[in-house]
Amino acid sequence: MNINELNQQESMIYPGLLNPVSEAQIVFRQLLSGASEPGLMMSVDVAHEHPRVLHLATYAIALTLFDQSTHLHLSPSLNVKDVANSLRFHAGVKLSSSIQKAHFVICNEDDQPDLSQLNQGTETYPDQSCTIIIQCKSFSIGPYFQASGPGIEHVRRIRCSGINSTLMQHRELMRTQFPMGIDTILICNSKFFYLPRTTQLIREYQ
């Protein structure tokens, strides 16, 4: 690799969290709140530059949660240099091409991997399962869903363009394998929904 190539690659590193301690705490608090009240739209209130193909919330959550022991799998459309370099530089994350080993998978709504291949955890360690982060086009168009389960008193209505039938089927299947299963974070720009494995989704048909 000559020095020009190196420079070009390096120039694609985006700034990390500007105030790592307080910003990571803010984002982590939002994630906790989102996970304990599934279906509630949460917002990442930190403003900064992020790689073009990643949404703001995706980048902020990645910088908050990932560290040197994290295995990350990027879907083909997101596996570009500036994402890989920025996350490697700031979080020290290990990028793995193997989807089975990944602790986190980041993908776009039209680029979702085969969910059955993801690590579902084990009976003894269900916490070791994979979390999938899906970047969606919109939370204001697309079908409505009714979410129910732990953390939701009655039902919550959410609207999201990124929940397809494969994801719905997999979530149904997951209910039979509890406590194993995968958790989902749906992201659109700075907003996100956290849907743990326990949340049941029913699609609304008008």
Partner 1 sequence: MNTEQRQNLLSILAKSSLKDIQSCWHHSLDDYQFKTIRPPQTGMVMAVARTETTGEPFNLGEVSVTRCALRLESGETGVGYSMGSDKDQVLHIALIDALAQVGQDFETLSTDVINPLKQKIADRQKRQKAQTDTTKVDFLTIIRGEDA
Total interface residues for partner 1 by CB under 8 A: 13
Q: At what angle do helices 81-91 and 56-65 cross, to 10 degrees?
A: 30
Rg (CA), the chain: 17
Nearest CB to partner 1, comparing residues 16 and 196: 16
Strand 94-95 versus strand 71-74 pairing type = parallel
Q: Minimal distance in Å, beta carbon 142 to partner 1?
A: 36
Spell 63-87 as b/e; 16+ CB within 10 A means b.
bbbbeeebbbbbbeebeeebbbbbb
Residues 5-34 that bind partner 1 (CB under 8 A): 7-8, 10-11, 13-16, 18, 20
- Our finding on whether 92 is near partner 1 (CB under 8 A) is no
CB 108 within 8 A of CB 186: no
Q: Minimal distance in Å, beta carbon 55 to partner 1?
A: 20
CB 184 within 8 A of CB 162: no
Instruction: Kindly indicate which of the ranges 1-9, 91-99, 104-112, 195-203 contains the residues binding partner 1, using the contact rule CB under 8 A.
Output: 1-9
Mask of contacts with partner 1, 37-76, x by CB under 8 A?
----------------------------------------
Which one among 26, 79, 82, 89 touches partner 1, defined by CB under 8 A? 89
Sign of dihedral through CA atoms 43, 44, 48, 50? negative
Nearest CB to partner 1, comparing residues 3 and 141: 3
Nearest CB to partner 1, comparing residues 10 and 172: 10
Helix (H, G, I), strand (E, B) or coil at 148: strand
Which residues sit at the interface with partner 1, rule CB under 8 A?
A: 3, 7-8, 10-11, 13-16, 18, 20, 89-90
